[in-house]
């Protein structure tokens, strides 16, 4: 097992010798790439390791190739989109038990709208579907909340009307 210094200067691994050989074959690592074998304390070049020297020797060095590998960055979901979806779910579930969901649905609409505006500016971001789902759930909770208010008033309305006329 080995640890590798990536092009970004971060440490990656542990990885097996098979994975390291594959990275060398793909050009993601070369003889100048720094590795730390398991149990060792000093970083070495791949070309200095006897078990990998034959693999590196068969690959011609690329002119101007970096001495380290680069791993692709993992894209992250937009934070406002995640918050909008979470608030939309809370508005439809817990929120309808108290205050007809409004404490969660209004912030859910705001967060989802902010996320959708950010997607217009930077379409590479991930989480557009989360923002849309959060917006739909938040709006749906408002519609259901208004429906519950109308339902409650319709049943207490005639009784309330009689009380007003008795005064």
Task: Domain of residue 122: give its range.
Answer: 79-166
Q: Is residue 162 part of a domain?
A: yes
Tens of pLDDT along 8-42? 677 877 888 788 778 777 777 777 778 888 888 88
pTM of the model: 0.51
Tens of pLDDT along 54-105? 666 565 555 444 545 555 556 678 899 999 999 999 988 887 777 777 788 9
85 and 17 both lie in a single domain: no
Q: Is residue 156 part of a domain?
A: yes
51 and 88 both lie in a single domain: no
Q: What is the CATH number of the domain that holds 19?
A: 3.30.1490.40
53 and 85 both lie in a single domain: no
Q: Which residue matches tokens 């579930």?
A: 93
155 and 101 both lie in a single domain: yes
Structural domain tally of the chain? 2
92 and 145 both lie in a single domain: yes
> Pick from 76, 88, 79: which is nearest to 132 by CA?
88
Q: Is residue 68 part of a domain?
A: no
CA-to-CA separations, 156 to 147, 153, 162, in angstroms, rounded: 14, 5, 10
Q: What is the per-residue DSSP string for 3-20?
A: EEEBTTS-EEEEE-HHHH
84 and 49 both lie in a single domain: no
96 and 20 both lie in a single domain: no
Q: Is residue 66 part of a domain?
A: no
CA-to-CA separations, 80 to 73, 108, 128, in angstroms, rounded: 20, 9, 10
């Amino acid at each position: 097992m080995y640890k590798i210094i990536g092009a970004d200067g971060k440490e990656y691994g542990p990885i097996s010798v098979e994975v390291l050989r594959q990275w060398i074959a793909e050009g993601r690592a070369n003889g100048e790439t720094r590795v730390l074998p398991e149990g060792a304390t000093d970083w070495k070049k791949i070309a200095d390791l006897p078990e990998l020297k034959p693999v590196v020797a068969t690959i011609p060095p690329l002119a101007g190739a970096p001495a380290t590998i680069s791993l692709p960055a993992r894209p992250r979901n937009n934070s406002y989109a995640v918050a909008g979806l979470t608030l939309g779910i809370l508005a439809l579930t817990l929120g309808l038990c108290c205050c007809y969901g409004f404490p969660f649905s209004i912030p859910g609409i705001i967060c989802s709208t902010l996320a959708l505006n950010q997607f217009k500016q930077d379409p590479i971001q991930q989480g557009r579907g989360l923002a849309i789902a959060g917006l739909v759930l938040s709006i749906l909770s408002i519609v259901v909340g208004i429906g519950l208010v109308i339902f409650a008033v319709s049943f207490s309305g005639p009784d309330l009307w009689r009380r007003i006329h008795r005064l």
